[in-house]
Structure 1
Amino acid sequence: MNISMLTSLTHHYKAFVLMLLLTLLIAGSANAAVLNQNKKVLFIVSSDKSGFWLPEVVEPYFLLEQAGFKMDIASPLGGKGKASGASRLSHEQETWFLSSKLQNQLDGSIPLNEVMSNNYHAVYFAGGSGPMFDLLDNKQAQKITREIYERGGIISADCHGPAALINVKLTNGQRLIEGKNITAKANVEEGFWARSNYPFLLEDKIKQLGGIYSAGKKSKPHVVIDGRLITGQNPASAIPMAKSLIVMLGGQNKG
């Protein structure tokens, strides 16, 4: 066998291996998408007049949908709440949002008292100013969070969304965030309105209640994972937070 024949065989072998790997990758992605279709994530947004931050809903929702997951939207009162931050969406995000089912889901969100927690593998609390008022002590949100967590599900939140987590207590009486690594909106990121109207700043309260708080640079992405608790610091953290959630949900397929 001469050198040219060996070279030809080598090229064909490499091409075969590459095609095989590509086929396996596509098959694996398809199988993951099928498995993910059986998993639902509950998004909870505020009903307060101060509103929820729309990009922190749109960005995670889009990524989760692309990964094959199904989502429901719930809020304390149900129905349509006040969406803030629409101007912060990119042109592509706005175009997608206006043609997506998410818009209708936000207009007709499920009241928390109608949510069946056993339908969901994870819950996600979006930020905005609203959670600092109507999700801090919301018993229904706390019950949903506790039940999902104690059933082996994932708890996630971004920016002011962790306000919904600080008063959640497990059935053993321990606070969910106690001894947990967690992030949320940093003190340095809060402006005059927040300092004048919020009952407290999240960074201070988390530390006070026994959470292990950390923050990254101001307005830069910072995500903290502790077991099945995933939190993001600010709006810039919504996308990496969602990616972490997708990875963790995908890992459950192997369990």
Structure 2
Amino acid sequence: MKKVLIVETNVNRYKGTDEATGLWLGESAEFIDELQKCNIDYDVISPKGGLVPLDPRSMKYIDSSIWNIYESSDFADKAIRNTMRPEDINPKDYVAIYFTGGHGVMWDFPDNEKIQAIARVIYNDGGYLTSVCHGIAGLLNIKDENGKYLISGKKITGFTTAEERIAGKRTVVPFLNQKVAEKHGAIWTKKRFYKDYALKDGNIIAGQNPFSVRTVAKILIKELI
């Protein structure tokens, strides 16, 4: 059975502040909803394993489909309370890895060598690297065996600088996705702020913001079935 690996953050607040952040709920729940419609299985890891905090702002954007996933015992156990650690899984078991967002990922995704190694194995085996919104932070620093960034020369997208300003986080985040992506050779693409937008370039699939989750999932699923 084809299985997708989902990555979530353990960071519960913006560094240097008392303001809460964490997983943007819909970026996990909506993606899983699309997988389940096609009977595609998934596992969830986080850098430290265990509990994943929810960004409280994401709870304002819940519809019935998100509630259905969020209130399911499977999601609560696998994706919130008891996420696995990177060392708990075998990357050979997965056909894709999906990096969720929420601002917290900007601190615990970019330099996690264990998760990068998992992603590299999946990619080298012909699998897919996928992300949405701030989840692009998980792809920015992954290199191949020759030391070249995997995103170099690829069209990608993620939460934009304009969106960061609108969210009021421009001065709080440790870096800007577009700036780092372009520094590492990627071709950054985008649409108007907070509009659904996702694209595929080779085996990399990326979505711009929280409204792009289902499009990312559907692009991936089309490749898998």
TM-score (norm 1): 0.81
- Mapping for residues 1-255 of structure 1, pairs under 5 Å: 38-49=1-12, 50-84=21-55, 85-106=58-79, 107-191=81-165, 193-250=168-225
CA-to-aligned-CA distance 1:172-196 (integer Å, 9 cap, x gap): 2211100001001111100365222
CA distance in 2, matches of 1:100, 1:58: 13
* Residue 18 (structure 2) aligns with: none
Q: Describe the SS at the equivalent of 1:190.
A: helix
CA distance in 2, matches of 1:99, 1:200: 35
CA distance in 1, matches of 2:60, 2:34: 20
List gaps (5 residues or longer) in structure 2: 13-20
- State the identity as a percent: 34
CA distance in 2, matches of 1:233, 1:170: 24
Letter in 2 for 1:78: G
Q: Describe the SS at the equivalent of 2:169.
A: helix
Q: Describe the SS at the equivalent of 1:145.
A: helix
Query: For this pair of structures, how many residues does the alignment match?
Result: 213
User: Which of these two proteins has the greater Rg computed from alpha carbons?
Assistant: 1
Higher RCO (CA 8 Å, separation ≥ 6 residues): 2
Does the aligned pair in 1 maintain the 2:23–2:102 contact within 8 Å?
yes
* Residue 29 (structure 1) aligns with: none
Q: Describe the SS at the equivalent of 1:86.
A: helix
Q: Describe the SS at the equivalent of 2:34.
A: helix
How far residue 92 of structure 1 moved from its aligned partner, in angstroms, is 3.8
* Residue 16 (structure 1) aligns with: none
List gaps (5 residues or longer) in structure 1: 1-37, 251-255
Q: Describe the SS at the equivalent of 1:176.
A: coil
TM-score (norm 2): 0.91
How far residue 86 of structure 1 moved from its aligned partner, in angstroms, is 2.3
CA distance in 1, matches of 2:74, 2:205: 25
Moved more, 210-219 or 108-117: 108-117
RMSD over aligned CA atoms reads 1.2
Which of structure 1's runs of 4+ aligned residues deviate more than 4 A?
A: none
How far residue 62 of structure 1 moved from its aligned partner, in angstroms, is 0.7
How far residue 48 of structure 1 moved from its aligned partner, in angstroms, is 1.0
CA-to-aligned-CA distance 1:156-205 (integer Å, 9 cap, x gap): 00000010111000112211100001001111100365222212110111
Flag the structure with higher helix content: 1
CA-to-aligned-CA distance 1:124-173 (integer Å, 9 cap, x gap): 00010011000110101110111100011111000000101110001122
CA-to-aligned-CA distance 1:56-88 (integer Å, 9 cap, x gap): 000010110110110001000101111121231
